[in-house]
Amino acid sequence: MVCSFHHKGEFIPSLSSIKILNKENEAGFRVLLVEKGDERSLACDGCRELDVPLCMQYCKENEDLEKILREFLEQTKPREWAKKGLIGSG
């Protein structure tokens, strides 16, 4: 995935910040964005320094992905700020 290139400068799908999974009991897929990185995946930062995140530039379903990414960033940003002491944690 392109996010491994964003973070590491090379394409390593296993390290990707975005995981596309088939739905188990129905047609379609689920999109998961990694909030907290580890040795298996890199945390999604939404490519904040870019005008358009790389995943949205290359995804054929970029309108759907934009909604998912926007929701993800709206949920994770307050937690990041709380960890940094910029806002109260709840």
Q: What tokens were used for 36?
A: 């907290």
Per-residue pLDDT of the chain (90 residues; tens, 9 = 90+): 788 898 889 999 888 999 888 888 888 888 888 988 888 889 898 888 888 888 888 888 888 888 998 888 888 876 665 565 544 544
Which residue, chain included where needed, has tokens 């709380």?
82
What residues have CB less than 8 Å from 84, skipping those under 6 apart? none
CB 29 within 8 A of CB 19: no
- The full set of domain ranges for the chain reads 2-83
User: Which pLDDT does position 11 carry in this prediction?
Assistant: 92
Which residue, chain included where needed, has tokens 């964005």?
33
DSSP state of 19: E
User: For strand 18-22 and strand 29-33, is the pairing parallel, antiparallel, or unpaired?
Assistant: antiparallel
What residues have CB less than 8 Å from 1, skipping those under 6 apart? 11, 13, 16, 17, 18, 55
User: Which pLDDT does position 80 carry in this prediction?
Assistant: 63
